[in-house]
A and B are shown apart, each in its own frame.
Chain A
Amino acid sequence: MSNRNIQKPGRILETINQDGLDRRGLLKCMAWAGAGVLWTVSGGVPRSLGIGDAYAATQGLTFAQISDTHIGFNKDANPHPETTMAEAVARIRGAKPSFVIHTGDITHLSKAGQFDTAQQIIKDIGSDVHYVPGEHDWLDDGKAYLERHGTGTKGNGWYSFDSQGVHFIALINVVGFKAGSLTSLGADQIAWLKDDVSGLAASTPIVVLAHIPLWAVYPSWGWGTADSAEALGSLSRFGSVTVLNGHIHQVLQKVEGNVTFHTARSTAYPQPAPGAAPSPGPLKVPADRLRTVLGVREVNYVEGQTPLALVDTPLSA
Chain B
Amino acid sequence: MNNFHSYFNRSASLRRSIVLTAVGACAALAILLTVGGIRYRAADAAEASTVQIENYQFLPNTLTIRVGGSVTWVNRDGDVHSITADDTPPTFKSGGLDTDDKFSFTFTKAGTYAYHCSLHPHMTGKIIVQ
Contacts and interface: CB of A to CB of B under 8 A. Distances in A.
Contacts of B96: 109-110, 136, 139
Contacts of A138: 118
Nearest to A284: B78
Interface residues of A, number: 27
Contact of A180 (B55, B57, B122): B122
B80 A75 contact: no
Nearest to B125: A179
A181 B98 contact: no
SS class, residues of chain A in contact with chain B? loop
Chain B interface size range? 20 to 34
Interface string A38-78: 00000000000000000000000000000000000001110
B118 A135 contact: yes
A102 interface: no
A222 B98 contact: no
B79 A281 contact: yes
Contact of B116 (A75, A109, A180): A180
A253 to B, nearest CB: 24
SS class, residues of chain B in contact with chain A? loop
Contact of B121 (A110, A177, A280): A177
Contacts of A77: 78
Contacts, number: 64
A76 B121 CA distance: 25
B99 interface: yes
Interface string B77-114: 11110100010000000011011000000000000001
B79 A178 contact: no
A313 interface: no
Contacts of A220: 122
Nearest to A75: B78
Nearest to A74: B98
B106 to A, nearest CB: 22
Contact of A177 (B77, B95, B114, B116): B116
A282 B116 CA distance: 20
B78 A281 contact: yes
A203 interface: no
A218 to B, nearest CB: 11
Contacts of B122: 180-182, 219-222
B116 A280 contact: no
A286 interface: no
A272 to B, nearest CB: 11
A271 to B, nearest CB: 9
